A and B are shown apart, each in its own frame.
Chain A
Amino acid sequence: MKGFLSTLAIAILCIMLLPVFQSCHKYEEFANDPEGNFDALWTIIDQHYCFFEYKDIDWNEVGQRYRAQLLPEMTNEELFDVCAQMLKELKDGHTNLISSWDISRYWIWEQYPENYDERLIDQYYLNFNFRQASGIKYGILSNNIGYMHYGDFGSSIGEGNLDNILAYLASCDGLVIDVRNNGGGYLTNVEKLVARFTTERILAGYISHKTGPGHDEFSEPYAYFFDPAEDTRIKFLKPIVILTNRASYSATNNFVSIMKSISRVRVVGDSTGGGSGMPFTSELPNGWNVRFSACSILDPQGNETEFGTAPSEGCKVDMTIDDIASGRDSILEKAFEVINDMIAAGL
């Protein structure tokens, strides 16, 4: 009996020790010191960032250059500044280092004219006579052109709200959708909005994600489509002009790139700010968060729009200081002109 019990005990012990033999896939762990945090940040971006090849960035060289600035006794703020400067090399508005006292940023629109003055529109075009629903400000302008400003794709849009808005604007000859200064939000809101301006299934673009840590490891771009809203929903199928500036970013850039492929739609203003990489978030050993572009969304023609979606041909317009001083939105004025041309062309 003793022999049997010994055998049984050994068997149980061996089974319990199985996990010891089973060596899990090891992963890199970094120390919580300046060098460890820097290396963690560099590695996260190195393995997950999706635009190295498109932007022709030598990340090893960038890493060496900024690693040379590390000092063992440097403060957290000094380390943050070094890391933030390194991330700016990516020229990506979706890439941020987030600490408890600051968020590093690269906002492309800071380098361009603002091209938008909300007060000017409210006062001189809407005469402060507008409605608001689901984060959309809308009204009918004196020339019977509908105007709606959607300032944040993070504001959820209700289908019922859209029905009300589009029913109100249904009698207009054309529609201006102003997405200037809309910094993005939920892509599901893009789908919901686009569905009101088409009667058929449209190719919305392609999406490609990283399949591994290598800079060239990507999935085959996957074509995705948007369906029109249900027949019971109200749609606007007359000429549409979308107003953009460099602060039209991320989900807004996605919206513009899709709408631009619809024949009754023109884009007027400045190029969008881009931001076609869907951001993921990770973290460093010291608790700082890092956000970065993780997968690329291409426009319906299969082009990258990371650096922006250009206005339609002949529709690039900047607002001047004189325009603003005289209460004139030159981008909106151009939109009126384009809509009239489209009506004349029978669109």
Chain B
Amino acid sequence: MTTSNNTTNRIVAIITLSLLVAAMPLLHVNAANNKHDTDSLPVKIERPVNSAFTFDIGGAQILDTYLTPIKYTGMNMRIGYERMQAMKFSPLHWISQIDAGIDYQKVKNIPRTRTMHSLMLEFQWGMMHRWHIDCLQGLQIMAGGSTRFRGGALYNAANSNNPVSAKLHWSINMQGMAVYNTHIRNLPITLRYEATLPFIGAFFSPEYGQSFYEIYLGDRRNIVHCGWWGNRFDMRNLFTVDLHFGRTSLRLGYRGEIETSFVNNLNCHFFTHSAVIGISGEWLTLRPGEKTIEKARIISALY
């Protein structure tokens, strides 16, 4: 079923977000004259790699009308790796991010008689511009873009010739992050909020009543679609707090995933809400023969 006001709502959402993104650089931020800006100084700069290994556990709600018209609910888990680093050409102002993960959902129908499994792999690479905010020491705002590949499958063993719904999605995303380094008593902490919003891409979907056997036979018409907010809306929200206990940090947080698509008259929803726990830390690489980095200036991507 479709609703007539979808387009209007999406336009409102697009305008809202666009205004927010556009306004970000104007928020009392003075990147050009920032006192931290020493990119041009002849000081040796080291860019530590900020790595984090995380484990998510939480709930999932999945609907895929290719498999069933019933909404399934259950558990979600994810193992993820994130790598962030200030970029060489402008370490103060640009950071790169790699985010990879594998997530698994085990969900059941309402009477709990059927089980559906979902296994997805994803890889994301992005770049963000960073602004240090003068008015609040320790606060950074980042905005940029990323590209993500996500693929996997939903499997419903009770089905006959439609037991699997394959998922492949490549997207280009808007991405924003707010990071605040502060203390609780003597414990340094890093608060972070990150939003990722795909706005265009390509994704796979079989046709309404098409079997994968037919695709195997060679009928691949109309199975790859341009993904935009008219047929697909995805979003990821991530809140984390890194508690810095010495050289490594404990990461705690929340991750919310939203994936929705409506194409070929097939309706798909994928919602997860999860608690995040992990470890993070920063690592520097010593070059051969290099014994110390004491005199170098260290520019972190996050902390």
Contact = CB atoms under 8 A, between A and B. Distances in A.
A56 B131 CA distance: 67
B154 to A, nearest CB: 14
A209 B208 CA distance: 8
Interface residues of A, number: 53
Nearest to B28: A4
A210 B160 contact: no
Contact of B160 (A23, A217, A279): A279
A8 B29 CA distance: 12
B286 interface: no
B3 A23 contact: yes
Contact of A280 (B133, B161, B218, B258): B161
A283 B210 contact: no
B102 to A, nearest CB: 24
B191 to A, nearest CB: 11
A320 interface: no
Nearest to B220: A222
A320 to B, nearest CB: 37
- Classify chain B's interface size: 35 or more
B161 A278 contact: yes
A148 B269 CA distance: 49
Contact of B2 (A1, A8, A16, A25): A25
Given A7-B27, A11-B24, A22-B10, A287 B111 contact: yes
Main secondary structure of the interface of B (DSSP, over half): loop
A212 B265 contact: yes
B214 A295 contact: yes
Nearest to A50: B209
B232 to A, nearest CB: 11
B39 interface: no
Interface stretch (A26-34, A239-247, A263-271, A302-310): A26-34
A4 B217 contact: no
A219 B207 contact: yes
Contact of A15 (B20, B65, B265, B269): B20
A32 B209 contact: no
Interface stretch (B11-19, B81-89, B92-100, B122-130): B11-19
A101 B111 CA distance: 16
Nearest to A218: B209
B6 A25 contact: yes
Interface in B217-258: 217-219, 221, 229, 233, 235, 237, 258
Nearest to A205: B217
B162 A4 contact: no
A149 interface: no
Interface in A276-316: 278-283, 285-287, 289, 291, 294-295
A19 interface: yes
A50 B161 CA distance: 14
B141 interface: yes
B138 interface: no
B70 A283 contact: yes
A48 interface: yes
B68 A283 contact: yes
12 contacts: A11-B24, A14-B17, A16-B237, A18-B13, A22-B13, A40-B69, A210-B209, A211-B207, A217-B208, A280-B161, A281-B159, A295-B210
Interface of B: 1-3, 5-6, 9-10, 12-13, 16-17, 20, 23-24, 27-28, 63, 65, 68-71, 109-111, 113-114, 133, 135-136, 141, 158-162, 176, 178, 193, 195, 197, 207-211, 213-214, 217-219, 221, 229, 233, 235, 237, 258, 260, 262, 264-265, 267, 269
Q: Which 10 A-B pairs have the closest CB atoms?
A: A210-B209, A287-B113, A287-B111, A25-B262, A1-B135, A281-B159, A222-B219, A224-B217, A209-B210, A209-B209
